[in-house]
Amino acid sequence: MTMTDTLTALTGKPLGECTNGELYLSLLKLVNEKAAQQIRPVQGRKLYYISAEFLIGKLLSNNLINLGLYDEVRSALQSAGKKLSDIEEVEPEPSLGNGGLGRLAACFLDSLATLNLPGDGIGLRYHFGLFHQSLSSGVQKELPDPWLTENSWAEKTDITYPVKLGGKKFTARLYKLAVTGYEGRTNTLNLFDIDTVDESIVREGISFDKTAIDKNLTLFLYPDDSDEAGRQLRIYQQYLMVSAGAQLILAECAARGCDYHNLADYAAIQINDTHPSMVIPELIRLLGEKGIAFEEAVEIVTKTCAYTNHTILAEALEKWPRTYLEVVVPQLMPIIEKLDAVVAKRTKDKSLAIIDKDGKVHMAHMDIHFTHSTNGVAALHTQILKDSELKGFYKLYPEKFNNKTNGITFRRWLMKCNPLLTGQIENLIGTGFHKDATQLTKLLAYENDTSVLEQLAAIKKENKRELCRWLKQEQGITMNPDAMFDIQSKRLHEYKRQQLNLLYLIHQYFEIKAGHLPPVPLVSIFGAKAAPAYIIAKDIIHALLTLSKVIAADPVVSPWLQIVFVENYNVTAAEKMIPACDLSEQISLASKEASGTGNMKFMLNGALTLGTMDGANVEISQQVGNENIYIFGQTSNQVIRRYAAGDYKASEWYEGDPNLRRAIDFLTGPEMTAAGSSELLSRLQTELKNKDWFQTLPDFSAYVVRKGQALADYAANPLDWSRRCLVNIAKAGLFSSDRTIAEYDRDIWHLGK
Ligand code: 26V
């Protein structure tokens, strides 16, 4: 049967007569049928990756690629006058994550299935994922982002588990989403929900009654937790996930012959950051119900579970007041207390306790004590955990600590998002890199091949034009594809330092006005959402939007400088932006970005990195060599020392550097306040001048110099720029999540088949 016949059988009428919506539904069916054929029985240990976030993005094209159907489907549609890209538009994006942590979980599921490893995800079926960002009036507004349609990828099952929340009984229902591997097996993403959630309680924006948990439990991803009800709701969500998840794990293992004493032979559980940490006491509780004594249950759980730390930011390490846990999960508190008593026997160091003197429960501490592995997500990050943040734990359990540098799936972040580049690479080195990313080093043979380098540059140009077309259509923005495209896209956070980029852009504005023209026009593109209650982050967005207006209205500056803020940055937007990037901004304060994964995506798509020695930038620079990356700024040791000394004074830097002072003063100058809100702008100015917790000012001048160098190199020798892009692509193999997953399996999981 041809693909046209298959699809026609599914639609029930000639393809040319179908709407894109009808074709989408048929393709969804086709994918699910084909995926089901690749489900394999499990032998030995199976992984359960528990995560509050799975930022899976749109699934149709990716599944078609992984199942080997993409080309056939595309040509069948083409002969009927239909375009696969139009059908993709019909699919809503499941934005079930905030950023890197959730996207990593999605990449890991892809790699597990591709490597033929048995590994399922466990998470929540949020009705609205991360909010939809609107920027219409110069400020961010949050709106619900629905993704669930009648026929969604997540299929409802009859499988339910009882879960007690706040002493009341609830029923968790399992939804299953097929995870296809590239020429591999099909695994499952298990998402839990309750039937009583009521979308109609959403009021203005994303506000809703936070107390009615039967109606709101899985309504939103990470609801605003700036108040107590929001924080408690987060714990309710987490417990729903881990309790239903733990019951699912026990049921699946029992069905395969496990008697619970030998749970670790059947299951490996990876705790993705601290959001799922309650799975530890919950499993101990459930094993107790099966007749297993506390001490043995602790041993079983420790052998089964492993923990990944994704941040060293103190405010992001979850510590819940015990009074909250007593309300939300009273059944766990006695177990957590017993675990705390076990810790007290192991060490006298009170800073390693689970429950501190103020009655706060430290979730990460529970993870480290009661799992067999704690890993960081890039070499530098793991080193900092061992040397400072988790030093006491490292002393107690050196054998538990290990590094697993993050990775990304090349199926989505090269083959799917950049077909032109993929085609060129295939022509040069074949298709082996699809599953063995290290083969990309074969591209180095073309380092001095002018026609290859010219073609690479032409592909970049075409991707830039494509981004121009898309942004014209979406936001009515016109951009010059001959300019350098510089992109900073990631969550908005002060440690990531979008404000450093902002200060640079103000500086450039002054330079251009003074007649110091840059060697090439610059389009500075941002994509970023700020957490709804994060005031300074929102002020940074406002400042960028305002500056963008000021520059656009200036006839002298605008031919040389443009700021573009992509509204509602998500996976779909990332797939359009990343292939079109020349310069990738990875400018976090050294020591603060655990790894970063956007840095890897940009590199793989032939952008050069402008970055600090932070997170995986360190490993990227080792891979490509200093001449193929732009590194600047303080080192992590310098930063850590400065924090320890506590003697950083932003005001001294402000006073000491006239360029910096000029840029910061400009925030509340007449041009900016005429175009934006003086209240928001001066709040940001005050923060930068007097606090600047993430040390933007000390890195400012080095950043200006390094970025100037990048612009000069880009303009002076396009062929050499292209050569350096080629080196970046060739050396990106290390950052495949296939490599990361193989290492997790080798060192931590030891999965069966
Ligand atoms: C969460 C919160 C919540 C409270 C307010 C401040 C704050 C700041 C950061 C976070 C994120 C915590 C976890 C996280 O998303 N980490 C990211 O994980 C990625 C995958 O390992 C990694 O590449 C990023 O560097 C890291 O920031």
Q: Is the CB of 598 under 6 A from ligand 1?
A: no
Choose the weakest-confidence range: 97-111, 204-218, 358-372: 204-218
In this predicted model, what pLDDT tens digit does every residue of 293-320 receive, in sequence order? 999 999 999 999 999 999 988 878 899 9
Please tell me if the CB atom of residue 377 comes closer than 6 angstroms to any atom of ligand 1.
Answer: yes
Q: Does residue 231 line the site of ligand 1, with CB under 6 A?
A: no
Per the listing, tokens 């993005």 go with 57
Q: Is the model more confident about 519 or about 1?
A: 519
Average pLDDT over residues 535-563: 98
Mutate to test the pocket of ligand 1, among 225, 310, 385, 614 (most ligand atoms within 8 A of CB): 310
| Ligand 1 nearest-atom number relative to CA 377 | 21
For 133, phi and psi rounded to 5 degrees?
A: -95, 125
- Closest C-alpha residue for ligand 1 atom 16: 310
Nearest CA to ligand 1 atom 23: 596
Ligand 1 in contact with 378 (CB < 6 A)?
no
State the distance from the centre of ligand 1 to the C-alpha of 87, rounded, in angstroms.
33
- Distances in Å between the Cα of 696 and the Cα atoms of 369, 405, 639, 691 are 36, 26, 11, 10
For residue 225, the model assigns a pLDDT of 81
State the DSSP code for 202.
-
Q: What are phi and psi of 394, to 5 degrees?
A: -65, -35
On average, the pLDDT of the chain sits at 97
CA of 588 to the centre of ligand 1 (A): 12
Task: Check pLDDT > 80 for residue 223.
Answer: no
3-class DSSP state of 736 = strand
pLDDT one-digit tens code per residue, 614-672? 999 999 999 999 999 999 999 999 999 999 999 999 999 999 999 999 999 999 999 99
CA atoms within 13 A on the CB side of 453: 19
Q: Work out whether the CA dihedral 70, 59, 603, 734 comes out positive or negative.
A: negative
Q: Is the pLDDT of residue 260 over 80?
A: yes
Instruction: Compute, in angstroms, the gap from residue 238 CA to the centroid of ligand 1.
Output: 17
Instruction: Give the residue, out of 54, 55, 101, with the most ligand 1 atoms within 8 A of its beta carbon, to mutate for a pocket test.
Output: 101
Contact (Cβ atoms closer than 8 angstroms) between residue 218 and residue 193: yes
**In ligand 1, which atom is closest to the CA atom of 103?**
20
Residue 273 in contact with ligand 1 by CB distance below 6 A: yes
Q: What pLDDT, in 10s, does the model give residues 110-123?
A: 999 999 999 999 99
**Distance, CA 536 to ligand 1 centroid (Å)?**
17
Contact status, residue 285 vs residue 71, Cβ threshold 8 Å: no
pLDDT higher than 90, residue 750: yes
Ligand 1: centre distance to CA 311 (Å):
5
Strands 630-631 and 608-611: parallel
Beta bridge partners of 193: 173
Ligand 1, atom 18: nearest CA belongs to which residue? 101
Which segments within 675-742 are labelled E, that is strand? none
For the cut 90, the answer to whether the pLDDT of residue 224 exceeds it is no
**CA 273–ligand 1 middle distance (angstroms):** 9
Helices (H), 579-667: 598-604, 617-624, 636-645, 650-656, 658-666
Ligand 1 atom 1, closest CA: 316
Q: DSSP label at 696?
A: H
Mean pLDDT of 208-212: 87
Instruction: Identify the pLDDT of residue 566.
Output: 98
C-alpha to C-alpha distance for 462 and 456, rounded to whole angstroms: 10
Query: 446: which residues sit within 8 A by CB, 6+ positions away?
Result: 428, 452, 453, 726
Between 316 and 345, residue with greater pLDDT: 345
pLDDT at 151: 81
The two structure tokens encoding residue 610: 């402008």
Catalytic residues: 310, 490-491, 496, 597, 601
Q: Is the CB of 376 under 6 A from ligand 1?
A: no
Q: How far apart are CA 321 and CA 361, in angstroms?
A: 6
What are the residues whose beta carbons fall under 8 Å from the beta carbon of 427, sequence distance 6 or more?
none
pLDDT of residue 642: 94
Nearest-angstrom CA–CA distance, 104 and 254: 30
